[in-house]
Copies of this chain bind each other. A is one copy, B any other.
Amino acid sequence: MHSRVVKTVESDLPNIGIVGGLGRMGRWFTEFFERAGFSVMVSDIETEFTPRDLAAECRVVILSLPMEVFPDVVADIGPSIPEGSLLTDLCSLKQAQVRCMLEHSSCEVVGTHPLFGPAEDDMSGRRVALCPGRGKRWLSWWEGLLQRYGALTTVITPEDHDRTMAWVQALNHFILLTLGKSLEDDGIDLKHIKELATPSFHMQMEIVSRLYYQDPELYATIQMSNPYTCRTLDMFNQHSESLKDIIKRRDRVAFIRLFKEVQELGRMLTMQEQ
């Protein structure tokens, strides 16, 4: 039986309730809020408090849940959250999640997607997407708090968020998995691959290696739940077939035209960074 309530001297800070607070991201945010001086109540499997307790007690309710169980918990506790409170979540997708929170509540709603995992030391320099749902007061409090601790926040609609994530997460993971599976299937000597890696491919191998630390279940959900994934994967596969044809028929003119288009995109990506 676990439970935790941390009281602090600053009694004017809203108390925070983290549903799923014993998961890896839940613990991360519990620690974040405690360090920042907030009272934190946690519910999870086998905790003293239930999600309904948190809904009744806390001004800020944060859902740190697997996307599979998310809708049931929202339907269960959403209606009992007071209008003046904030309901937010930490899911990797936002369109269905924000819609679900709005549907089952009358409180303020913000969708939150921390673009980092629980292995990070602190909030500094980390990216966080915020999707406004209902109300502005808590949104500005939440964004201000994250920024104060060094987060780079982006306010974006749930639709644009998910559409962007179809590239940043779904397609990215798709490419890494396809590359890794192909390497494995070919049976090429990985020692040679490492020894002869250009700086560019060395980075690519580093990204593949990072998958080692990720949760396959979460990655499956991200791939299969984003409504924009299939369209993005189709587009990638069509372009990869057509580039393969260009290479097979040794069409240098078409190859160089495409190369220069992508160079221009690369230039724009670099410019935006400055």
Which residues of A approach B to under 8 Å, CB–CB?
Answer: 113, 115-116, 127, 129, 152, 154, 156, 160-161, 163-165, 167-169, 171-172, 174-186, 188-201, 203-212, 214, 216-217, 219-220, 223-224, 229-230, 232-237, 239-241, 243-244, 247-248, 250, 252, 255-256, 258-263, 265-270, 272-273
Contact = CB atoms under 8 A, between A and B. Distances in A.
A108 B188 CA distance: 29
6 contacts: A156-B192, A160-B192, A177-B258, A185-B239, A208-B266, A236-B240
A106 to B, nearest CB: 29
A233 B244 contact: yes
A230 B244 CA distance: 8
A204 B201 contact: no
B161 A196 contact: yes
Given A178-B240, A200-B210, A247 B233 contact: yes
A237 B237 contact: yes
Given A216-B256, A223-B247, A236-B240, A154 B265 contact: no
A203 B207 contact: yes
Contacts of A223: 247, 255
Number of copies: 2
A219 B186 CA distance: 23
A201 B207 CA distance: 8
A167 B195 contact: no
Contacts of A190: 265, 268-269, 272
Contact of A183 (B237, B255, B258, B265): B265
A91 to B, nearest CB: 14
A182 B255 contact: no
Given A235-B186, A256-B216, A154 B196 contact: yes
Given A168-B196, A178-B236, 20 more contacts: A127-B198, A160-B192, A168-B197, A168-B198, A172-B198, A172-B204, A178-B240, A180-B262, A181-B262, A182-B236, A182-B239, A186-B235, A191-B272, A194-B269, A209-B269, A211-B259, A212-B266, A212-B270, A220-B256, A233-B244
A258 B177 CA distance: 8
Given A185-B235, A200-B210, A239-B185, A252 B220 contact: yes
A204 B197 CA distance: 16
B263 A197 contact: no
A182 B266 contact: no
